[in-house]
Structures are given as C-alpha cells and as structure tokens.
C-alpha cells in the first residue's frame, strides 16, 4: 500500500524537523548539502531597493537556502525574482545571477529563504556553474564520508 501526502505549508514542516529527518521530506532532484561547519558561505540577496547579506544554510545544484535575520527576510516574498551573489570558500570572486524565492521558514531567530537559481539566464551563475557544482559535490562527499565513519562499529 502506498500513501501520498502533500504538505501545504512547507515552511512550518521544515521548521519542526531536524536536519536528519528533513532529508526524507526533501523531494529535490539534486542533493542538498550544508557548508563546512568551520566555514561560512556568504550570500547577498537583492530585489529593487532591498539588499541584504546572509549565510548559506544549505546548497544544492539548483539553489540554496539563505539564513537571514527575520527583519531582513521579511522584505522578500515567495515568487519574487531576486539577484543572488554567492562567495564560495577559497574563491576570490563572487558568483552572481538571478533567482526566485520559492519559500521561507523560521529556524530559531532566523528565517531561511529557499532560492532557486535561474540557470537559463546568461549570468556568472550559469557560466561558473561547474565551480559551484564542484563545491556542492565536495561537500556531499565529505558529509557522506563523515556519516560512514560514524556508522562503523567501534
């Protein structure tokens, strides 16, 4: 027997799940990874006169979650087209391109905005995609190795 459930308020759902359970509710076609615990991935979002700075909460091949203080995140609405600028660790240059705010949810004192990249637009986000995907893949491999090490018997 197969039962399908559709959650209508994803932000509320994710806010109640820890990271371990959250991945079971993640229906993305690309893997979502966390930045290294000792390194910040700086992100800037802009739309019209609004410009804010935050940190990547998670990253994937198609977008990222941006952690922002509640007051800053409140100016962005779901479906809004934004400009995303990402500064990957170890890189001197920022990667910039258009995106769309898909959802947002509270996570403690912050809000995480889910932003999907517009990979069809001619922008550095598209032309430097290989560099971005390289970072995401390296983090995925690192997280997988860490989980395997934890699951080995002592």
Q: Note the pLDDT tens digit of each residue in 102-144.
A: 999 998 889 999 999 998 899 988 889 999 999 999 998 998 8
Its pTM stands at: 0.77
Mean residue pLDDT of the chain comes to: 86
What are the phi and psi torsion angles at 33 (to 5°)? -130, 160
Q: Which of 37-46, 50-59, 138-147 has the lowest mean pLDDT?
A: 138-147
pLDDT tens-digit map of 2-35: 777 776 776 666 666 655 565 555 555 677 899 9
Largest CA distance in the chain: 55
Mean pLDDT of 45-61: 95
Q: What tokens were used for 110?
A: 């912050």
Question: Are 53 and 84 in contact, with CB atoms under 8 Å apart?
Answer: no
Question: Are 55 and 43 in contact, with CB atoms under 8 Å apart?
Answer: yes
CA quadruple 6, 11, 16, 20: dihedral sign: positive
pLDDT given for residue 77 in this prediction: 92
pLDDT given for residue 104 in this prediction: 92
């Amino acid at each position: 027997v197969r039962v399908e459930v559709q959650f209508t308020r994803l932000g509320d759902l994710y806010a109640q799940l820890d990271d371990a359970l959250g991945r079971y509710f993640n229906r993305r076609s690309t893997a979502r990874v966390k930045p290294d615990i000792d390194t910040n991935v700086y992100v800037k979002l802009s739309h019209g006169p609004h410009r804010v700075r935050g940190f990547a909460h998670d990253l994937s091949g198609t977008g990222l979650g941006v952690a922002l203080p509640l007051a800053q995140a409140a100016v962005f609405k779901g479906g809004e087209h934004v400009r995303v600028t990402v500064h990957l660790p170890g890189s001197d240059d920022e990667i910039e391109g258009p995106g769309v705010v898909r959802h947002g949810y509270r996570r403690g004192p912050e809000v995480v905005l889910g932003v999907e990249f517009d990979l069809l637009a001619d922008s550095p986000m598209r032309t430097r995609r290989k560099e971005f995907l390289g970072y995401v893949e390296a983090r995925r491999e690192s997280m997988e190795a860490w989980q395997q090490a934890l699951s080995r018997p002592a």
